[in-house]
Chain A
Amino acid sequence: MLGGMVTSESEVETTPFRDLDVTRTDSSLHRFLHGLPGVDQVGAEQRAAALSSRSIKTSAKAYALDLAISMVDLTTLEGQDTDGKVRTLAAKAVRPDPSDPTCPSTAAVCVYGDLVATAKQALGDSGVHVAAVATAFPSGRAAMDVKLADTRDAVEAGADEIDMVIDRGAFLSGRYLEVFEEIAQVREACGGAHLKVILETGELQTYDNVRRASWLAMLAGGHFIKTSTGKVQPAATLPVTLVMLEAVRDFREATGTMIGVKPAGGIRTAKDAIKYLVTVNEVAGPDWLDPDWFRFGASTLLNDLLMQRMKLKTGRYSGPDYVTVD
């Protein structure tokens, strides 16, 4: 579905798979996750490079640009964010191109929890969602009750979506059940809000870890798996996203449950975004080509998408003066 409208309720329930044998103990979870097929780094990167060489022009490009815009979670996560900043961000999310009303709205805005109320008010009934980062974003290093309180506050303020971070320290130490439990509890604290689980793939380092963390997050009840906080380099990469798309594809086959994917950080150009859409199309499948199931966590990307869109319409290369600063 095109346009900036996102259905507010997922049609499929994603409660944590608590009763499976695999999630009962740390060692059974460990065995399951380590029993998943390995990922050959060179092969995975090669496939991503081949998908990047697809040439998307004319009508295909127009479709992809509008789709990409409708998938953006327009983001501001700075210490210096203010109500004013969030209001202008919200206005841009609703109407990215003031000169062209046919341009779709973005899927959501993404802000810190204490600015959710402002964002909610600014967005009104536009249909653009409010996503809030929570759980001691970006490091995730705080006590569990602090992280849950963080989540509840954002939900109460009206957040439609919560972007949480996993405890990478616990994951890398192999305490998988602990990570599972945290996600499951945050999922419960979300109530009706959708949960995106940030894996922070840049810290996980290997594609094998990314595959395992993806499955862990899906088993624990996340609606979306997300690559990065954007605060650590590298953030999203095409091969990492490819591995995550394979995971959601396999998960749906195994359980019937569909999970979304959100690469975040480091996707700056329309050309990059289109490579991601090609990858979604050919790896997970066209069902995921929808803002309900795929998002871009980005800020500068939107302007490049708009400039490319203008070029398609006018035939002329555009420039920064023709897109708004915020």
Chain B
Amino acid sequence: MTTSADPRVTFDYAPAPESRSIVDIKASYGLFINGEFVDGHGKAFKTVNPASEEVLAEIAEADDNDVDLAVRAARRAHRSWSQMPGAERAKYLFRIARIIAERSRELAVLESIDNGKPIRESRDVDIPIVSAHFFYYAGWADKLRYAGFGEQSLGVAAQVIPWNFPLLMLAWKIAPALACGNTVVLKPAETTPLTALLFAEICQQADLPPGVVNIVTGAGGTGQALVGHPDVDKVAFTGSTEVGKAIARTVAGTDKRVTLELGGKAANIVFDDAPLDQAIEGIVDGIFFNQGHVCCAGSRLLVQESVADEVLHRLKRRMATLRVGDPLDKNTDIGAINSAEQLARIRELSDVGDAEGAERWSPPCELPSHGYWFPPTLFTGVNQAHRIAREEIFGPVLSVLTFRTPAEAVAKANNSPYGLSAGIWTDKGSRILKMANQLRAGVVWANTFNKFDPASPFGGYKESGYGREGGKHGLEGYLR
């Protein structure tokens, strides 16, 4: 890692902190129900800055009653919201998109403080796509007859989102739901509620009719109450496969529509004719972007045996230039792990990797003394039977396996209960298309990785969930 006391010997980047002064974090937050902030009646909890363990704010917990109030508010608002001409709904969503763009720096800083991700990512990736997502779906609100999925809304949508891309996951849920005439009750993750609560303020600034969007903060209990509420028409969940299965069981026998966006263990496949320098970037992007807290992360590198040594050599050299540190420093590449629990899980699985006989390597790294940190890590000598090749670690840990032929690469890539995404690196177009055909994954990236766009559908095969978010296909889950 780049550290040197003498700047004349190496080019030492001085601290380049983004100012925190733009955000105004309150001491405590309530729930957002029916257009207003109200008290919660569960047990309040704290949200913490994972880079420093500093307590940021006290957050209300919505108990069963609070959840019920929110669902009722959404139900009442649904009548007029769904009957409003699509062109009018569109204009509210356009307003929200524009206000997000106006307050983008504030949102980015808040996201980095609450989540731990580098400001460069929240500023250049997360927030711009959030705004674009609302802008894109705004345009569908009055064009539903061209999509082919019906034109009726479902009703009230219960939406539960994870902590890895807090505001982006909120956008992926709320934008299409509202465009199609639904109203929503959304629960952000308990470790990352702040941008959702700022979003509530933005809904007020946009004069969104009360009850169309409701935000109920809380943890597992709140989520269960919300998903299990009898007057909810649709459940949308992004999170772990385990909880996804529990939700699928809960809604069984009801009329509730469900979409699930769950875990993954994507294979990033590198052939000997890959554009090598860009493939290295793609591998690094694939697993170290967002600290590896990405469901579609390229967490298995499948490298063609003939080029494995070369790729590993270049990869290690590249990993040594990654900067781990303060999320608010504009030069940070890898930020903090989101929570103590997640850090423990990453450590546990990495220890399993050691025990299984894989060889661990990390570049030398100076980690801060406070906060939750894990260095970018790779394991070589991994095979399909290893737990670190099968289980989602959800951290900056790459498992490296080899293959000899395209058929073997496909077989290994598909040999998983998951099927969210895959990457292919080769100079040959026909091979890309052949592999893409055969890979059982909802998103295939060729000669690139971790690219997201509101116009592009995203979602998995098999135990990575069902349903798609983004694009025209993203409307299907919210219409009948």
Chain A residues engaging chain B, CB cutoff 8 angstroms: 2, 37-40, 42-44, 46-47, 53-61, 63-64, 67, 246, 277-278, 281-282, 286, 289
For this complex, 13 residue pairs linking A to B, each with C-beta atoms less than 8 Å apart, are A2-B8, A40-B278, A43-B281, A43-B282, A43-B448, A44-B277, A47-B281, A59-B12, A60-B13, A63-B7, A63-B12, A286-B9, A289-B11
B278 touches A56 (CB 8 A): no
B427 touches A60 (CB 8 A): no
CB of B330 closer than 8 Å to a CB of A: yes
Known contacts A39-B277, A58-B15; 6 further A-B pairs (Cβ under 8 A) = A2-B8, A53-B330, A54-B330, A58-B14, A60-B13, A286-B9
Complex: chain A residue closest to B123, CB-CB: A53
What is the CB-to-nearest-CB distance from B228 to chain A, in angstroms, rounded to a whole number?
44
Q: How far is the CA of A63 from the CA of B14 in the complex (A)?
A: 10
Complex: chain B residue closest to A53, CB-CB: B120
Q: How far is the CA of A286 from the CA of B12 in the complex (A)?
A: 10
**A59-B14 contact in complex given A54-B331, A286-B9, C-beta closer than 8 Å:** yes
Complex: chain A residue closest to B10, CB-CB: A286
CB contacts under 8 Å to A, within B264-314, are 273-278, 281-282
Residues of B within 8 A of A40 (CB): 275, 278, 447-448
CB of B16 closer than 8 Å to a CB of A: yes
A39 touches B11 (CB 8 A): no
Residues of B within 8 A of A278 (CB): 11
CB of B405 closer than 8 Å to a CB of A: no
Partner of A43, one of B7, B15, B120, B447: B447
**A43-B12 contact in complex given A38-B427, A55-B330, C-beta closer than 8 Å:** no
What is the CB-to-nearest-CB distance from A52 to chain B, in angstroms, rounded to a whole number?
11
CB of B124 closer than 8 Å to a CB of A: yes
What is the CB-to-nearest-CB distance from B71 to chain A, in angstroms, rounded to a whole number?
43
Complex: chain B residue closest to A37, CB-CB: B276
Residues of A within 8 A of B14 (CB): 56-61
Complex: chain B residue closest to A61, CB-CB: B14
Complex: chain B residue closest to A45, CB-CB: B278
CB of B321 closer than 8 Å to a CB of A: yes
* Proximity bits, B37-50, A CB within 8 Å = 1, else 0: 00000000000000
Q: How far is the CA of A286 from the CA of B277 in the complex (A)?
A: 19
Q: How far is the CA of A212 from the CA of B124 in the complex (A)?
A: 33
B278 touches A286 (CB 8 A): no
Complex: chain B residue closest to A207, CB-CB: B275
Q: Is the interface of A mostly helix, strand, loop or mixed?
A: helix
A60 touches B12 (CB 8 A): yes
B331 touches A63 (CB 8 A): no
A246 touches B277 (CB 8 A): yes
Q: How far is the CA of A59 from the CA of B331 in the complex (A)?
A: 15
B278 touches A39 (CB 8 A): yes
A277 touches B11 (CB 8 A): yes
Q: How far is the CA of A246 from the CA of B279 in the complex (A)?
A: 14
What is the CB-to-nearest-CB distance from B307 to chain A, in angstroms, rounded to a whole number?
9
Q: How far is the CA of A71 from the CA of B15 in the complex (A)?
A: 25
Q: How far is the CA of A64 from the CA of B7 in the complex (A)?
A: 10
Partner of B275, one of A39, A56, A277, A286: A39
A55 touches B331 (CB 8 A): yes
CB contacts under 8 Å to A, within B1-36, are 7-16
Residues of A within 8 A of B330 (CB): 53-55
Residues of B within 8 A of A277 (CB): 11
Q: How far is the CA of A37 from the CA of B276 in the complex (A)?
A: 6
What is the CB-to-nearest-CB distance from B104 to chain A, in angstroms, rounded to a whole number?
15
Q: How far is the CA of A39 from the CA of B448 in the complex (A)?
A: 12
Residues of A within 8 A of B281 (CB): 43, 46-47
Partner of B16, one of A47, A57, A64, A289: A57
Q: How far is the CA of A57 from the CA of B8 in the complex (A)?
A: 15
Residues of A within 8 A of B276 (CB): 37
What is the CB-to-nearest-CB distance from B343 to chain A, in angstroms, rounded to a whole number?
26
What is the CB-to-nearest-CB distance from A126 to chain B, in angstroms, rounded to a whole number?
22
Q: How far is the CA of A43 from the CA of B281 in the complex (A)?
A: 8
Complex: chain A residue closest to B278, CB-CB: A43
Residues of A within 8 A of B7 (CB): 59-60, 63
Q: How far is the CA of A205 from the CA of B13 in the complex (A)?
A: 33
**A63-B278 contact in complex given A54-B331, A55-B16, C-beta closer than 8 Å:** no
A281 touches B11 (CB 8 A): yes
* Proximity bits, B104-123, A CB within 8 Å = 1, else 0: 00000000000000001000
Residues of A within 8 A of B277 (CB): 37, 39, 43-44, 47, 246
Q: How far is the CA of A282 from the CA of B13 in the complex (A)?
A: 12
**A43-B331 contact in complex given A38-B427, A59-B7, A281-B11, C-beta closer than 8 Å:** no
